Structure 1
Amino acid sequence: MALTPVNNEAFIREVDEEVRREQTAKLARRYGVIVGVIVLLALAAFGGTLWWRAHQASVAAERGDAFMAAMASISGGKDDDAKKQLATIAGSGAEGYAPLSRMLQADLLVRERKDKEGADAFLKLSQDGSVPQPLRDVALVRATTIQFDTLPPQQVIDRLKPLAQTGNPWFGSAGEMTGLAWMKLNQPKKAGELFVAMTKDKSVPASLRMRVGQLAADLGYEAVQPQDMPAS
């Protein structure tokens, strides 16, 4: 059973007192003063490690509760409270919760119709190497979706190239935007072939496969027909 921080402090004191009282003299006689001190420090370090692990778990739980409270504020329409809560978590550098909080901060900006600020926040998150890759991918898709109508088509294609691949979790969203960008560049062959590939990928939502299947047909490419597509 994991020890709480309080119990660990008591454990460390108990180990320290016991070693000093009964063992230090014996160790000094048998192995010398230096070895006795090393053993004492090792025992103290062991107790400290137990305390640190328990402390980290406690902090993580607190941050998790704070994050859930922020989400509850958003659900309850208390955006001002949510912003304060999210700012605290995002500034804490907490692994996992900090980038999630930044994601929600960006989403709140979009909800307030501050699309430029929201897209910039998502893009910044997608470029942060300290953020887990799955979250960076989500942020990149969100930023590109918001900016799609204002970005040069080639920039959309270049930005989403790693995601617009069969088997990628974001193949659907990234592939559709990439195909539309190819159409803007008057490259129907590249767009049509990509749309056909999307209709064959069952990981892409059925509604999206149906939509790009129609686009592929409009471009003269034979895609999987909507009636042949299994429900998602």
Structure 2
Amino acid sequence: MSDSDSFIEEVTEEVRRDRLYGYLKRYGWIAALIILGIVGGAAWSEWQKAQTEAAAQALGDEILSALDSPEPQARIDALGEIDAGSPGGSAMLQLLIAAEQAQDGQTEAATGALAGVASNGELPQIYRQIAAFKALLAQGTETPAAERRIGFENLAVPGNTLRALAEEQLALIDVEEGDTDGAITRLTRLIDDAEATEGLRQRARQLIVALGGEPSETDAT
């Protein structure tokens, strides 16, 4: 490479550096803003996570404190005074309150609280399904079997998280109505149901035996 070529390259490189510095001086603030935005966004995200975790922990502590009360009504009152701070937290509190009311014999109040959660369209579906299921359980045999059957059949549909548990309750209603064969058939299907838990399958086996049936050979295997 000749001296003239080398000189030209050096000048060209110097011009490039001057242009780069010029761009940085002119537009560097944009890059700085982008960096600050990224760092600030990450910090904001971490702060939000910390706030959410802190709120959840505080809610859990309040619930545990309320449940430490010795009397059912005292626990109900203490739970009712808690500010959940979110629709999901409020739904969880209502489920806990309903459970305490049912335990204290306040069936009508428990059913009403559960019905309120079940009909709240702003809540995630799982909360509404659990509330509907518990409301049907809380009604007990005081509600006609035909009405309870309709309710559990609405829950025993494909895709429902509580479908298998609803099938178990339908089998119990079959027994209540004297349809032993229908109950055994339903329980046998439940044993082979991939969505049923092992505990649910075990209860199904025990009920089949109690009804005079026998679990299938494939199930025993």
- TM interval, short-chain normalised: 0.5 to 0.7
Q: CA deviation at 1:59?
A: 3.0
Letter in 2 for 1:208: R
Answer whether contact 1:199 1:209 (CA < 8 A) is retained: yes
Corresponding residue number in structure 1 for 2:86: 93
1:157/1:181 contact within 8 Å kept? yes
How many residue pairs get aligned? The number is 193
Find the aligned partners of 2:76 and 2:139 in 1 and give their Cα distance: 25
Matched, 1:209 2:204: yes
Q: Does 1:140 align with 2:135?
A: no
User: 1:87–1:149: structure 2 CA closer, same or farther, 3 Å change rule?
Assistant: same
SS in 2 for 1:137: helix
Which structure 2 segments of 5+ residues have no match?
1-21
| CA RMSD across the alignment | 4.0
Distance (whole Å) between structure 1 residues aligned to residue 189 and residue 161 of structure 2: 14
CA deviation after TM superposition for structure 1 residue 224, in Å: 0.5
Q: Residue 180 of structure 1 aligns with which residue?
A: 172
Unaligned runs of 5+ residues in structure 1 are 1-25
Name the structure 1 match of 2:117.
Answer: 125
CA contact (8 A) 2:75 2:100 kept: no
Q: Compute the displacement of 1:44 (Å).
A: 8.1
- Structure of larger gyration radius: 2
* Residues 51-90 of structure 1: pairs in structure 2 closer than 5 A: 52-77=44-69, 80=74, 83-84=77-78, 87-90=81-84
Q: State the percentage of identical aligned residues.
A: 17
1:72 Cα deviation (Å)? 2.2
SS of 1:56's equivalent?
helix
Give the whole-Å Cα distance in 2 for the aligned partners of 1:155 and 1:148. Answer: 11
Query: What TM-score, normalized by structure 2, do the two folds share?
Result: 0.63
User: Contact between 2:187 and 2:205, CA under 8 Å: does it hold in 1?
Assistant: no
Q: Is the 8 A contact 1:73 1:82 kept in 2?
A: no
Query: 1: distance between equivalents of 2:115 and 2:220?
Result: 34
Q: Distance in 1 between matches of 2:78 and 2:173?
A: 38
Indicate the SS of the match to 1:148.
Answer: helix
Secondary structure of residue in 2 paired with 1:89: coil
TM-score using structure 1 length:
0.61
Distance 1:121 1:62, change over 3 A: same
Corresponding letter in the other structure for 2:112: D
Deviation for aligned residue 1:117: 0.8
For the structure 1 residues 166 and 212, does the alpha-carbon distance in structure 2 shift closer, same or farther, using more than 3 Å as the test?
farther
Question: 1:42 offset after TM fit, Å?
Answer: 7.6
Q: Distance in 1 between matches of 2:91 and 2:105?
A: 21
**Other structure's SS at 2:170 match:** helix
